[in-house]
Amino acid sequence: MQQAVNLWPLLGILAIIIGFLLRMNAVLVVIIAGIITGVAAQMPIAAILEKLGSGFLATRNLAFILLIPLAVVGLLERHGLKEHAQNWIARIKSATAGRLLIIYLLARELTAAMGLTSLGGHPQMVRPLLAPMAEGACENRYGDLPQDVRYRLRAMAAATDNVGLFFGEDIFVAFGAIIFMHNFMLESAGIQTEPLHIALYGIPTAIFAFLIHAFRLKRMDQRLAAQLTALNQAALQSAGTHK
């Protein structure tokens, strides 16, 4: 006979959902959810407190590790990192926002495929370098940009980083998801696979992802060219009328 599974500890998940919906302090929500889960699992209070304490000690340096890159990026931005990136890309006359992001997409996929996932990222690459360079390339061609265009370029820069990382790391044989799929297929279905073969099957997906997103970036260039050219012509006509 199968033993009944105690589902009451799942109340901790419900506590997390309710706490986040009420926008309570995240640390407080997690602590309360941990206590609820422990009580529902009939754990002694001392054991619950021990688990919470050991979890805190295991992750107490995580915030410090995450804050170091942010501090470095903030210091670089204060000393003109964005301005230097925009000025540098402005010197390349043939550069467009789409072409720049396509090059970055290729580099991001290739490096992620080799396991170098930390070479890019939103805080250390997209915000201080990639997005300002995309804006600089656009400004070099069309002058001052409307705010909605700036937001669109920043969003597409972030999306390019996401696409390159997501589909590139699936080719890396030591990626956690590949190992998970290997173990899952072996233990659940008895299917013998090799992590290398799973990684190789990720290559066609990564290629198609690159082609599709590169097409989107090319189309973004065309739409921005039409939109900004029309705005500039309207501004010139308006200035001529006022004269």
Asked whether the predicted pLDDT for residue 220 surpasses 90, the reply is: yes
pLDDT above 50 (res 90): yes
pTM: 0.67
Query: Of 25-29, 60-64, 116-120, 142-146, which gets the smallest average pLDDT?
Result: 60-64
Distance from C-alpha of 64 to C-alpha of 54, rounded to nearest angstrom: 18
Q: Which of 2-6, 7-11, 177-181, 183-187 has the lowest mean pLDDT?
A: 2-6
Q: Work out the end-to-end distance of the chain between its first and last CA atoms, rounded to an integer number of angstroms.
A: 92
Instruction: Tell whether the model's pLDDT for residue 103 goes beyond 90.
Output: yes
The set of long-range contacts for 31-37, using a CB threshold of 8 Å and a minimum separation of 24, is: 36/11, 36/12, 37/9, 37/11, 37/12
Angle among Cα 218, 221, 224 to the nearest 5 degrees reads 150
Please give the pLDDT value at position 93: 73
Which pLDDT tens digit goes with each residue over 148-165?
999 999 999 999 999 999
Output the pLDDT for position 111: 92
Distance from CA of residue 209 to its chain's centroid? 16
Q: What is the pLDDT of residue 59?
A: 61
**Stretch 64-87: mean pLDDT:** 66
Task: Give, in order, the Cα–Cα distances in Å from 63 to each of 47, 59, 72, 147, 203.
Answer: 25, 8, 15, 33, 35
Question: Average pLDDT, stretch 34-54?
Answer: 84
The percentage of residues in the chain with a pLDDT greater than 70, rounded to a whole number, is 81
Instruction: Give the pLDDT band (50/70/90) at residue 1.
Output: very low
* Contact present, 181 and 213 (Cβ < 8 Å): no
Is pLDDT of 64 > 60? no
* C-alpha torsion 183→187→193→194, nearest 10: 30
Predicted confidence at residue 155, as pLDDT, reads 94
